[in-house]
Structure 1
């Protein structure tokens, strides 16, 4: 077996956390107990001065409390004088000297030590199990969450720990796990909505194209080829814009790119120049107040962010109104004047394919503009804030 295979084998054979905790507690108890026994034996062996002399005499059936003294010891008023050395005699134990005393002390200490060690190992096993019980609940919840996105349950609503008890490390871990499940559930729901909306956005122009072609094939003599071609081109252009927006959104969320210093002011100037024909057709006035600003990031994604901000402001602004673009330091602000928006509605504008009820205006948007802006901001660590204006319209602030 190779070294790599041996390492994999031993990793698989590694003891459980409960067993390792038990061995750790038992090892600590062993060290402490051994230190206590050793210190007691050393102290009793070297520090005291013993004056124990063995008394040799015939075996006498005596009570354990009786003491035998030498016959030569004098008595005072019939009371035996205290001998210089005593002998403790019992049915099972006789101490005749310093060696016997140390032997009895060592034997008793070792017996007590073994009993305490065994009891401590058992208590360590029980205590480790109680300490690790929340982790078992966490593992069970993780398995339930893993199965929660299958056909059994469409969401993760019921896979929550909600661990009760003191706010200790396990409680904080369980709370973090619940927060993670909540975010995963939100991401899963958003993914479902995104897939459904993307399918709808791509299906609609394809179905329109299919219908126009079917009519043309059914009555070829009544077909206006130029008009049909124009409508097919418009429908195809809409599909291309949606696909390009999806690709931009995918690039922004992928977290990859070529980061380097980017002149943000130059990107804003280019976006405003491209938007001038659309603004002129709608009678919208473009107002800008731009200061030099250089940020670190991916040029293509930052250009997409600026372009979507300006186009979104033009598309959903009031015809004949104003679009204001301000760049101060690292803060880019784009504002328009339009309908009054509710805060709840504004909070959902960054969702992919979400269109506010009063933000359509027949402008042909794909509903991905602010979603792309949010993804690019997340990619570059920028702060995005959407502020509804009291007089109507929306102000979007991006701070790098």
Structure 2
């Protein structure tokens, strides 16, 4: 680029500002291309992507196998609606159910839809199987949760930005502190139908539960005939070094809620997976989605499951995650207060006397690394699982530089 070249980014940002509602506060970067762990903006500048679409891009930008699956399906058929069965549907559901160790799968589109599906299934199971009186079902959730932004989901959020001014709120949810076994035990009543939790709370700052917490949750759910529902939308599908983050806790939930990486960074794909005695409560006409389980989504999703079935991405996340966390922990006392996470996922608390989280990610972007802030001085790092050791070192070096 020469001195006479005109930068496109300011104009593109201004154009976007004129025609969009303010539901996000994006960094001033306008991306036009991506490959692997890197993206390029409209002015030709390259950035190392350490957000990976909030884990939607676990396999990197334009993974060749996923792109090939999408291209092949685009030449055949992309949508039938669920009024008909298409030839990609059975294999996607079969392979995903096998990956989860469950009998049934219900595909949807977005993560929030999958959470809504889990809520509806849990309530119907509570009425039809557990015998809870109609309209009395309760679902226990954790403070500082993030499960989506529909009106029902924000009803049990404790984040004022997500919840304020969107009432009246949907009843039927009990909020307890995350990681508090005693509080959970005390919250369970005969009307409790499910406990809905994130194995690691991403939006809250990549909060890892205390050791043994989920084993206690599993035991309580078994004791009281309550469904254990794991929201693995952001934590699952290889991100933490296991297929599912809850595997680190040695327990199996009754229902998995999946999304983000399930679509390979190409199309929105989500799903819930559970055994027949849970998902089987749904009957035709009681729940649905025009685009849920469409041919294009299933073709891509099947390839995602195939990639995960090898275990290569999980191993890569575990091994490189150890290196990432070792590098980040070395910064504690040098501008970093604390580091949390598992695998290729980290919450980094910046010394608030130095920078806010927003200032930190803005300065990282200036140095060619993209990340996301949350809650004050915390930033989240979640590179694609195709990232290299050298790229991790480069990103952490840039973080160290802005803190010095």
Query: Could you say which TM-score interval applies, normalised by the shorter chain?
Result: under 0.3
Question: Which structure has the higher relative contact order (CA within 8 Å, separation 6+)?
Answer: 2
TM-score under structure 2 length normalisation: 0.21
Write 1 or 2 for the structure with the bigger share of helix. Answer: 1
TM-score under structure 1 length normalisation: 0.21
Write 1 or 2 for the structure with the bigger share of strand. Answer: 2
Which of the two has higher C-alpha Rg?
Answer: 1
